[in-house]
Amino acid sequence: MPEHTVLFDANNEPVHAPTGTLLSEAARLAGVELNQPCGGQGRCGRCAVQVKSGHVRARSTLRLSPEDVANGYVLACQAVIEGNVAIAVPPQEKIERVLTTDRTVGEIRVPAGYDPVKSQTIRRVNLTLTPPSIDDQTDDWARLRKVLNQKVHRSEFNVSLPLLRQIGGILRQGDWKVSAIVESPPWDCCPDCPAQLVDLKPGHVNDDQPLWGAAIDIGTTTVSLWLVNLLSGEVKAQVAEYNRQITRGEDVISRIMYASKSAEQADEMRELVVAAMNELVERACKRTQVDPADIVKAVVSGNSTMIHLFLGIPANSIRLAPFVTGVNETPIVRARETGLLIHPEASVDCLPGVASYVGADITAGVLSSGVDDSEQITLFMDVGTNGEIVLGSNEWLVTCACSAGPAFEGAGVVDGMRATKGAIEEVWVDGHDYEPTCRVIGNVKPKGLCGSGLISLLAELFLTGVVDKAGHIDLRLPTPRVREGEHGPEYVVAWGAETEHGRDIVITHVDIDNLIRAKAAIYAGFSVLAESVGIPLEMAERVLIGGSFGKYINVEKAVQIGLLPDMPWDKFQFLGNTSVLGGYRALLDRSDRVRVQDIASRMTYIELSADNRFYEAFTSALFLPHTDMAKFPSVADALT
Amino acid sequence: MPEHTVLFDANNEPVHAPTGTLLSEAARLAGVELNQPCGGQGRCGRCAVQVKSGHVRARSTLRLSPEDVANGYVLACQAVIEGNVAIAVPPQEKIERVLTTDRTVGEIRVPAGYDPVKSQTIRRVNLTLTPPSIDDQTDDWARLRKVLNQKVHRSEFNVSLPLLRQIGGILRQGDWKVSAIVESPPWDCCPDCPAQLVDLKPGHVNDDQPLWGAAIDIGTTTVSLWLVNLLSGEVKAQVAEYNRQITRGEDVISRIMYASKSAEQADEMRELVVAAMNELVERACKRTQVDPADIVKAVVSGNSTMIHLFLGIPANSIRLAPFVTGVNETPIVRARETGLLIHPEASVDCLPGVASYVGADITAGVLSSGVDDSEQITLFMDVGTNGEIVLGSNEWLVTCACSAGPAFEGAGVVDGMRATKGAIEEVWVDGHDYEPTCRVIGNVKPKGLCGSGLISLLAELFLTGVVDKAGHIDLRLPTPRVREGEHGPEYVVAWGAETEHGRDIVITHVDIDNLIRAKAAIYAGFSVLAESVGIPLEMAERVLIGGSFGKYINVEKAVQIGLLPDMPWDKFQFLGNTSVLGGYRALLDRSDRVRVQDIASRMTYIELSADNRFYEAFTSALFLPHTDMAKFPSVADALT
């Protein structure tokens, strides 16, 4: 196969690749960062590049205008080289960092009566050894084990080879006074189960010195880390960061597809998320003046795809029927095996998931929200890039995942965007002149609509009659805001003169259709769960909403479009990131760690794609708010 | 510090190093192999190099003649650079490969009634899984565990992250038919103890396909490997190879000193022995057409220093009072952690040692010789580079190590050499004219004397009166064979005209002194062991001799110089490499593996350096055969 030269203007060093190489692959080789939110499927159009010289063969030009194509633009993920080429990379859309969860002191309450000695799996002990002598030639490791045994009352200890190599030096450096960190499994099969020696340091350490742990939630969009003093339970820093995998796919499916293409790409995905985690470790540690190597225990939550990609376990089976994970209960691994730059011997404990689309983020969420521990029948939902729902109590738990799509995160919508600066997050529409009033994140000129903005806009358009039950825009209304646009009927939320980029911000009929399908999928999920346990949905005594999306949602509007069930507002509670909170609890308390396991095994997973009830419920929900208005009495009231 | 250029003629690429760098270190950087049998202590003179231009500062010129020094020769381990230099490396003494233990089919008897199902810790099972479906979305790992559990009746399984990453692919590649290799610990703390998943392969494997294991003995001089079919117990290949660490030190002390100089040198020592082991793996596998990756279990024996250097555990405390090891019972590690190129997940189980100088080679030797299992009081000895002795029965076991020095391996003796081609291995001296008759290994012109040759020569010289009780050579005898040499009185074993190198082969007074000190140390060890349990040495009912040295020893001669106690010859038995044999037994049978552990904990170690009885016994033994001739009645008879 002949090799060709590919030169990216962004990078002076040309790369060589054979005929048929994708431009996106060549860019990867050249170290040129291209956004590929759709995972290289040619759907999003964000990896468009301009061919300056030479020839490429484009398999698809979806999302490119005829002018773009005429000007030599191609999608890097859809174009293969056939000779030497020079490529210009236009400035790609950058992710803005306006994460609001980054803060130093949390409002997190330490569990009442937290006692590290009782609850923790890990502890630090000061040890004073009798030095060896001609009369006592016990080997270093046995000498250490003996004293450890007296202190922590375990008979067996595991140690990794790298740490074993250091023990003799540390014992002597500390003149036979050392401090050891020992971890026992959250569950023991017997009293002789070995504990793990995690760390050994010369000299004694004051008992008031903290012992650091990290609770990490790997969200599809955002990675969050809490730095925790394991002795007091206190959260010392909470930091968050975009999951760097975003440039390779917005949603889990795109990422799985990207990672499944080659071993290199799988590794790249693993490294991207690990890099984000390490950035968080560094940031949290800098802020609190903690040495990252002093973090000796980590608990990780996240959806099943995120856990797979983090551990480098192939995730392709998650995407393909019959949708199974590689592993739901991952073994506890050591930080050095994962690339996480904390103490190399720190345990990295990924919490258990239930199914491909109900992962450790949900089991952790059930733990932290206490669904499994209450007599009240609770509906728990985590709507982010996917929508996962749990219905249950201390007696039973059922769960399902709705492929709602990323519409509520602003994707799949012409002017959709994430909830960052410039996003319209709330809209009010005047019932007389149909003029909108918008609230924009950061109080700047708007750039687009985020999820909560879309929900509130759709509810307002529905209540004011701009949009009917079926989601059709009424073009007959006496306002220039409604018009026939490029993509069919649309409503103009902001005129170009008012926007940051000078273009009109609109919501189109297609967008509305997408939003209705998304909300219908979630509502249908509620219905199927309730039906599966034979109770009416209204029997739910409370609705707990986790996930960052939940924080900004307006319940009234969400009920009006039929996304949430029509229940008194005081039954709704927004809990924020329940996944990291659950991770924090499992990090602190071995009984909570065992409880997550118990939750995972207790949860009955209902696969909606195999459930006819789901299709019926989905079809019924493809209206605003629903075919059956009796289910939405408050909305019926508002309409009359 | 100014940098200088060092150019070795053996290597065209000059290296750069600051003032004060040892030439040996510069050679290492340049990749030039220098022999350093003394470990870089300036004692052996084998690293002599010639300074062609430039200036070096030599700290010691021991072992160099005034002519050598005048010609610019220096010891690379004793000379530091002070400017740019050019160095000529004379041809260094090469180790010849005439190892006699390299053979394909052993004479090893498989233990009677060997049943892998009962005895083995490891087994291979064929599994047929129900493929996942929408109605059964169990994750891959749980699906596999479930079927494994039905087959091997264990509830918990450990798996490494690298193997976990492959499971999904293997299951699908085999269309849900796989063969798994599972290993359970030799001892279980409880029935819920996890077993280790070692390997998973797509498809089923016929039950008659072998399952491969390796027993490896790391000797100070020789590394031996037996390739074993774990299903039948059969040894399919036995191979041996010099321990490549020899170039960095002949004895354990020199090697510890070399490894302790820097992390790089420690790592070099580890890599040298691993390279020798990997060469053996390759050779054994080639001969038997086995894939090295199919070796799924390894048991390693060897003295404590060898085990430490192999695992990369600092060994310096072994050398320094109070002589303690880093670890006697090493944890079972995975091959990939050690650099051993067998199955990466294979367990590498180093057998337990007892003390710094009584290592796993001795516990394995006790196991394979059955000392611990017999009512007979047995004296077990392994005389190689060191002399380790065990006295005991099924009721008690005492052990000690005699720092005999490497005299019996031909080191520390002017014309000493290893038992390779050209070594005089047996000598007879005529009682009338004092003329010697020699047997030479390989039937070639002699080059020197190996251990058995030295013992037989010393015995003959003593019996014929050339040497007296105190080891003095009688220069008055009417033969040109005795003379005053450069190093004092000496006896000429072979005239220059008859030798390979054209120089006389002699034994000097100093050599004899060294030999007597060596044999006295060993005999004193016997005495102290017997005394420590309050029995006369003669009560020993048999003497078992392990180690390669033992294979060529002539009992009569060894008794005559007082190395072995004077007992009827039929009480002596030569067992060959009892260390690798013990490793083989532990490899096959979990109860034997547990027994080695039991042996290690039962053995009472007596530290001779702290024992006054030893000095008394040693002093008494500094005569031929002993001060107390009553202990050697057969020698007294021979003299009269």
Cα–Cα distance list, B51 to A248, B22, B71, B88, B618 (Å) = 60, 13, 8, 6, 45
Chain A hits for B139, CB-CB cut-off 8 Å, are 324-329
Chain B hits for A135, CB-CB cut-off 8 Å, are 610
Mean pLDDT in residue range A377-405: 89
pLDDT in tens, B261-306: 999 999 999 999 999 999 999 999 999 999 999 999 999 999 999 9
Site from B310, B318, B327, B348 to mutate, A interface, most A CB atoms within 10 angstroms: B327
- Computed over every residue of chain B, the mean pLDDT equals 90
For A137, which of B194, B323, B338 is closest by C-beta distance? Answer: B323
Output B28 or B535, whichever has higher pLDDT.
B535
Task: Give the residue on A whose Cα is nearest the Cα of B313.
Answer: A165
Task: Please name each of the domains of chain A with its CATH number.
Answer: 3-88 (3.10.20.30), 117-202 (3.10.20.880), 212-350 (3.30.420.480), 376-403+522-619 (3.30.420.40), 407-515 (no CATH)
pLDDT at B562 over 90: yes
Mean pLDDT in residue range A40-64: 80
Q: What is the pLDDT of residue B102?
A: 39
Q: What is the pLDDT of residue A102?
A: 39
Contact across the interface for B189 and A156, Cβ inside 8 Å:
yes
- This prediction has a pTM of 0.86
**What are the tokens at A621?**
């929900």
Confidence band of A100 (pLDDT split at 50, 70, 90): very low
Contact across the interface for A169 and B193, Cβ inside 8 Å:
no
Contact across the interface for B324 and A610, Cβ inside 8 Å:
no
Contact across the interface for B324 and A142, Cβ inside 8 Å:
no
pLDDT in tens, A276-285: 999 999 999 9
Q: What is the pLDDT of residue A97?
A: 33
Q: What is the pLDDT of residue B96?
A: 39
Task: Give the residue on A whose Cα is nearest the Cα of B136.
Answer: A322
pLDDT in tens, A560-591: 999 999 999 889 988 888 999 999 999 999 99
Helix axes B263-288 and B23-30, enclosed angle (nearest 10) = 40
Q: What is the pLDDT of residue B94?
A: 42
Q: Of the given ranges (A32-36, A455-459, A527-531), which has the lowest mean pLDDT? A: A32-36
pLDDT in tens, B320-372: 999 999 999 999 999 999 999 999 999 999 999 999 999 999 999 999 999 99
Q: What is the pLDDT of residue A106?
A: 44
User: Whose CA is closest to B358, among B546, B615, B514?
Assistant: B546
Mean pLDDT in residue range B120-144: 97
Alpha carbon of B203: minimum distance to chain A alpha carbons (Å): 19
pLDDT in tens, B546-556: 876 666 778 88
Q: What is the pLDDT of residue B209?
A: 96
Helix axes A612-620 and A509-532, enclosed angle (nearest 10) = 130
Output B407 or B117, whichever has higher pLDDT.
B117
Chain A hits for B137, CB-CB cut-off 8 Å, are 322-324, 355-356, 605, 607
Q: What is the pLDDT of residue A520?
A: 94
Q: Are B490 and B509 in contact (CB under 8 A)?
A: yes
Q: What is the pLDDT of residue A60?
A: 78
Cα–Cα distance list, B430 to B460, B505, B515 (Å) = 8, 18, 21
pLDDT at A107 over 80: no
Residue B174 has a CB neighbour count (10 Å cut-off) of 18
Total beta-carbon pairs less than 8 A apart between chain A and chain B: 148
Alpha carbon of A261: minimum distance to chain B alpha carbons (Å): 14
How far apart CA A28 and CA A586 sit, in angstroms, is 38
Alpha carbon of A478: minimum distance to chain B alpha carbons (Å): 51
pLDDT in tens, B468-523: 999 999 999 999 999 999 889 999 999 999 999 999 999 999 999 999 999 999 99
Q: What is the pLDDT of residue A364?
A: 97
Q: Of the given ranges (A126-130, A316-320, B9-13, B88-92), which has the lowest mean pLDDT? A: B9-13
For B190, which of A189, A323, A338 is closest by C-beta distance? Answer: A189
SS (H, E, C) A46-99: CCEEEEEECCEEECCCCCCCHHHHHCCEEECCCEEECCCEEEECCCCCCCCCCC
pLDDT at B225 over 50: yes
Chain A hits for B327, CB-CB cut-off 8 Å, are 139-142, 164, 167
Question: For residue A179, what are the β-bridge partners?
Answer: A126, A201
Task: Give the residue on A whose Cα is nearest the Cα of B309.
Answer: A165
Confidence band of B571 (pLDDT split at 50, 70, 90): very high
Q: What is the pLDDT of residue B106?
A: 44
Contact across the interface for A324 and B159, Cβ inside 8 Å:
no
pLDDT at A105 over 70: no
DSSP letter (8 states) at residue A632: -
Site from B135, B136, B137 to mutate, A interface, most A CB atoms within 10 angstroms: B137
Q: What is the pLDDT of residue B123?
A: 96
Q: What is the pLDDT of residue A96?
A: 39
Site from A129, A165, A309 to mutate, B interface, most B CB atoms within 10 angstroms: A165
Q: What is the pLDDT of residue A548?
A: 65
Q: What is the pLDDT of residue A387?
A: 84
Contact across the interface for B137 and A607, Cβ inside 8 Å:
yes
Instruction: Name the percent of chain A lying above pLDDT 90.
Output: 68
Contact across the interface for B164 and A331, Cβ inside 8 Å:
yes
Confidence band of A550 (pLDDT split at 50, 70, 90): low
Q: What is the pLDDT of residue B10?
A: 60
φ and ψ of B238, to 5 deg: -125, 120
DSSP letter (8 states) at residue A332: P
What proportions of chain B, in percent to the nearest 5, are helix, strand and coil?
35, 25, 40
Chain A hits for B194, CB-CB cut-off 8 Å, are 189
For A326, which of B168, B194, B333 is closest by C-beta distance? Answer: B168
Q: Is the peptide bond before B116 cis (omega within 30 degrees of 0)?
A: no
Q: What is the pLDDT of residue B100?
A: 41
**What are the tokens at A148?**
């450890």
Contact across the interface for B327 and A165, Cβ inside 8 Å:
no
Q: What is the pLDDT of residue B44?
A: 65
pLDDT in tens, A420-471: 889 998 898 988 999 999 989 888 999 999 888 999 999 999 999 999 999 9
Chain A hits for B337, CB-CB cut-off 8 Å, are 161
How far apart CA B584 and CA A454 sit, in angstroms, is 72
Q: What is the pLDDT of residue B101?
A: 43
How far apart CA B305 and CA B302 sit, in angstroms, is 8
pLDDT at A236 over 80: yes
Alpha carbon of A582: minimum distance to chain B alpha carbons (Å): 23
Confidence band of B142 (pLDDT split at 50, 70, 90): very high
pLDDT in tens, B590-634: 999 999 999 999 999 999 988 899 999 999 999 999 999 999 999
Residues 6+ apart with CB under 8 A from A299: A213, A214, A215, A216, A349, A350, A351, A583, A584, A586, A587, A593
pLDDT at A99 over 50: no
Alpha carbon of B587: minimum distance to chain A alpha carbons (Å): 21
pLDDT in tens, A268-324: 999 999 999 999 999 999 999 999 999 999 999 999 999 999 999 999 999 999 999
Chain A hits for B143, CB-CB cut-off 8 Å, are 324
pLDDT in tens, B439-458: 898 889 999 998 889 999 99
Mean pLDDT in residue range B6-35: 83
Alpha carbon of B345: minimum distance to chain A alpha carbons (Å): 15
H-type alpha helices, B428-566: 451-463, 509-532, 548-552, 555-560
Buried b (16+ CB within 10 A) or exposed e, B78-95: bbbbeeebebebeebeeb
Mean pLDDT in residue range A146-151: 96
Confidence band of A104 (pLDDT split at 50, 70, 90): very low
* Strands in A172-218 per DSSP E: 177-183, 195-202, 212-218
Mean pLDDT in residue range A80-104: 63
Query: What is the predicted ipTM?
Result: 0.86
pLDDT at A620 over 80: yes
Q: What is the pLDDT of residue A575?
A: 86
Q: Maximum Cα–Cα distance for chain A, whole Å?
A: 102
Chain B hits for A168, CB-CB cut-off 8 Å, are 313-314, 316-317, 326
pLDDT at B99 over 50: no
Q: What is the pLDDT of residue A10?
A: 60
For A192, which of B138, B142, B190 is closest by C-beta distance? Answer: B190
For A169, which of B142, B314, B609 is closest by C-beta distance? Answer: B314
pLDDT in tens, A333-373: 999 999 999 999 999 999 999 999 999 999 999 999 999 99
Task: Give the residue on A whose Cα is nearest the Cα of B312.
Answer: A165
